[in-house]
Amino acid sequence: MFELPEEVQDIRNLARDFARSAILPGAGERDRSHVFPAELVAQLGELGFMGLFVPEAYGGAGQSVLAYVCALEEICYADAGVGVIMSVNNSLAGWPILAFGTEEQKQRFLRPIAEGKKVGCYALTEPNAGSDAGAQQTRYHKDAAGNYVLNGTKMWITNGPQAEICVTYANRDPQLRHRGVSAFIVERSYPGFSVGKVEEKMGIACSSTSELIYEGLEVPAENLLHGEDKGFSVAMATLDGGRIGIAAQALGIAQRAFDLAVIHAKQRETFGKPIAANQAIQWMIADMGTRIEAARLLTHKAAALKDANKHEPLAVQQERCGRACSMAKLYASETANFCADKALQIHGGYGYSKEYEVERLYRDARITTLYEGTSEIQRLVIAKSLLG
């Protein structure tokens, strides 16, 4: 029998209580209105969820990565849009500053992110640099004072319209591809920073996604993260850990879809009996439940590996944890899509109606196989690791 540590169970239960009392009741309305849930984000910050695994010395809750994924699953069970805001803040904005930042950068930028006083984002993707992250066209150069000037456009940036602190990437010469990429910490108040088009998305609608436009964006020299030409390693290490967050998000969606399917199957009657008595429905339920359990074990294993190796050099962490993170993300995201599809099928025509929650879950699940590395990229990473 596998038991979560007591302290992890406490965090999970706190997240579950908050998610089901404060987040779940308004999920449908947020999906319709597309309004960013600022009040909920502030409450998540007060509870410590916006910097769960960040040490207390930098404003975080000082919990494990395992506690983080368990809490995130519960938040996403209620609303995956709210959950991804939390995930990006922890995994993509907070973690690279924690892992690569100077002491001054951690106190100045990581602390307000971890405390939930400021929202963070991660700006890597560009119009021509998605899965091929090394194809960064955003350029930087140094000015006479030794500071950095960035020019370019980022796209699909989660939290983009609200984020006050942004971990972003630029290339000193696009011909160098990944060898010329550097990482920077940017504040939205800097001259030359603006928010571009805000996307109308298929799902996770309360989570804002936008372009970020840099036009002569002035970045102080001390905001360089990890050193020049080292940005690609920062990006890849960050995505490696961030995939655990998306696995947890997918788990929350899958579990909610499963629970709603079971309830409906027991209540809906055809030909004088509940549809749960039909073998076809039973097999769907069995497959959903089995896949969720397998996905959860993969996700918990990846998180436990991250915790066990957190004091090792980053190269060692990636070697020991990278495959597990990709397996968790791949399997959990495809499980979310499978379960949302089967839940809708079990609901029949009702499931196709926006009156029923499974319709939203079906849309929310779709993104999980795309961002932070598509399923195809995860399979490449896994195969490369298995084949040596």
* Per-residue pLDDT reduced to its tens digit, 184-227: 999 999 999 999 999 999 999 999 999 999 999 999 999 999 99
- Boundary-marking domain end, from 225, 257, 290: 225
Are 372 and 332 in contact by the 8 Å Cβ rule? The answer is no
235 shares a domain with 112: no
Q: Please report which helix (H) or strand (E) contains residue 249, including its range.
A: helix 231-267
Domain that holds residue 182: 121-225
Q: Residues with catalytic annotation? A: 372
The answer to whether residue 86 sits within a structural domain is yes
Total residue length of the chain: 388
Note whether residue 1 is domain-resident.
Answer: no
State whether 347 and 322 are in the same domain: yes
Residue 378 and residue 236 share a domain: yes
For residue 183, list its beta bridge partners. 169, 225
CATH number of the domain where residue 114 is located: 1.10.540.10
Instruction: Judge if 257 and 333 occupy the same domain.
Output: yes
Is 11 strand, coil or helix?
A: helix
Q: Based on the structure, what is the number of domains in the chain?
A: 3
Q: Tell me: the pLDDT tens digits for 67-91?
A: 999 999 999 999 999 999 999 999 9
Q: Which helix (H) or strand (E) holds 340?
A: helix 314-347
Is 208 found in the same domain as 292? no
CATH for 172 = 2.40.110.10
| Domain boundary residue, one of 119, 153, 176 | 119
pLDDT at position 106 is: 98
Verify that 362 and 263 share a domain, yes or no: yes
What CA–CA distance (Å, rounded) separates 365 from 378?
A: 17
Shared-domain flag, residues 272 and 372: yes
Does residue 209 sit in the same domain as residue 220?
yes
Considering Cα of 224, then 230, then 235, then 237, what sign does the dihedral take?
negative
- CA dihedral of 279, 281, 284, 287, whole degrees rounded to 10: -50
Q: What is the pLDDT of residue 297?
A: 97
DSSP secondary structure string, 277-298?
A: GSHHHHHHHHHHHHHHHHHHHH
Residues 181 and 93 in one domain: no
Specify the DSSP element, H or E, that contains 331.
helix 314-347
pLDDT one-digit tens code per residue, 146-157: 999 999 999 999
Establish if 359 belongs to a structural domain.
yes
- Residue 208: closest CA among 174, 276, 259, 159: 159
The span from the CA of 43 to the CA of 363, in Å, is 26
pLDDT at 314: 86
Residue in the block written with tokens 């499974």:
358
238 and 368 in a single domain? The answer is yes
User: Does 314 share its domain with 364?
Assistant: yes
Which residues in the chain come in under a pLDDT of 70? Answer: 1
Stated as kind and residue range, the H or E segment containing 6 is: helix 6-18
Q: How far is CA 167 from CA 88, 158, 238, 325, in A?
A: 11, 12, 10, 21
Q: Are residues 87 and 144 in the same domain?
A: no
Q: In angstroms, rounded to a whole number, what is the distance separating the alpha carbons of residues 103 and 271?
A: 68
Domain boundary among 191, 225, 259: 225
CA quadruple 59, 307, 244, 115: dihedral, nearest 10: 0
Q: What is the pLDDT of residue 2?
A: 76
pLDDT at res. 388: 87
Query: Rounded to a whole number, what is the distance in angstroms from the first to the last CA of the chain?
Result: 33
